[in-house]
Chains A and B, each alone.
Chain A
């Protein structure tokens, strides 16, 4: 579960988030829809801890990760929030192979080497990219990059998954097949997710609930019916 309450964030004079309040229920897939510059990516960055809000509080599974508790300012390190994040242009590490990208978070968590290998192997299989495990990102197609990015985000078994226009750079056919697959994966894993897109049609197809964002706040939320 994710809860944002009265989040404010400005960059210089520009107010990006204005008293943003949003709740995503456990295991729900929420689509965040809105025009470019409406604050969608900043919202994800605030949840992930990559960007500290000026005001307001952020809860992940009822734990305060950003905000004030009594007089104390709380800010939990991004890696300790256990959040998986799929960036808009994948942000795969270009100097690491597909395997190394996927296992990066596992190694950083000091897992046993055997377990790292086993979990990486399973993810490669699950995402159907085993054949590309030793390839570098620049040798992959858009769809394969996307699968790698998703595998890397899922490797740490996140409680929350954030997807920032994950299919924006893909052609229509790849996009459709991946969308169906993503839906299946998220349902299997039962992970709470926010999916950012600027296409309402895509939002209808994939989400449990849609939140429309404009000028740094949620204008409207509703189920897809």
Chain B
């Protein structure tokens, strides 16, 4: 017993100490005060807007791709599949540099983008692209697994009754896979909120334009430690909330869908 509890409790203590320390110096007045600090509100607002847009884009591209990978066979599928996972384990700094080399004005596609009047570094769009690059694989993975788990017989049953494949997808396949899709979206959203390295490299650190919460935490650490502390606390709370939602979705027995034989 002792041999199990000692490492387990030390482990928990080590994780919980830093998390608790984030809240140690904070009280309601300080929180309210900092929530009027434009640097804090700008970073918070930008973070929320960009991660939500990133999640939306990940849904738009990730769900059809996941469905394609889960239900069709084609040449080069496993390569296709593996490539889309690379950003998940790539060091974010490398991701940022790679994005620069591809899309910066002097990058691979730079001249073409410039002709279209698009200069990415230093823009909010670059923040979204950085987040999308590193965070979209979560939606893809989770949705693909969810689509693979939908009983093929249910889809067959629907195809016999419904002439439109499109409507079969929206009335049967997607509702049955929705927990997995939503769980993936939550993880994408959380990962996007916390994105630091790729954003810093590719988008830069301009308050109000590209400075999301993690960037602001880093920049404000020296000049305004309290602001940095408040932002950290917000991220800890939101991470915890996301995790709880994720866990309830992942255990997903709403209405006992999966109980039936």
A residues within 8 Å of B by Cβ?
45, 48-50, 77-81, 83-85, 87, 89, 91-95, 104-105, 108-109, 136-138, 152, 156, 169
Of B157, B163, B261, the contact of A93 (CB 8 Å cutoff): B157
Contact A80 B172 (CB under 8 A): no
| Closest B residue, CB atoms, query A103 | B161
Considering the chains assembled together, what is the distance between the CA atoms of A169 and B261 in angstroms? Answer: 10
Chain A hits for B153, CB < 8 A:
87, 89, 91
Q: Choose, from B97-105, B200-208, B251-259, the stretch at the interface.
A: B251-259
| Closest A residue, CB atoms, query B256 | A138
Chain A hits for B160, CB < 8 A:
48-50, 78-79, 81, 83-85, 105
Q: How large is the interface on B (under 10, 10 to 19, 20 to 34, 35 or more residues)?
A: 20 to 34
Of A45, A50, A78, A104, the contact of B171 (CB 8 Å cutoff): A104
Contact A79 B255 (CB under 8 A): no
Contact B176 A91 (CB under 8 A): no
Interface residues of B in 148-166 (CB under 8 A from A): 151, 153-154, 156-164
Chain A hits for B25, CB < 8 A:
none
Contact A108 B164 (CB under 8 A): yes
| Closest B residue, CB atoms, query A108 | B162
Contact A138 B161 (CB under 8 A): no
Instruction: Give min CB distance, B72 to chain A, whole Å.
Output: 15
Of B159, B255, B259, B260, the contact of A92 (CB 8 Å cutoff): B260
Contact A87 B157 (CB under 8 A): yes
Chain A hits for B257, CB < 8 A:
94-95, 138
| Closest B residue, CB atoms, query A86 | B157
Contact A91 B154 (CB under 8 A): yes
Contact A105 B162 (CB under 8 A): yes
Instruction: Give min CB distance, B71 to chain A, whole Å.
Output: 14
Interface residues of B in 219-261 (CB under 8 A from A): 255-261
Contact A91 B255 (CB under 8 A): no
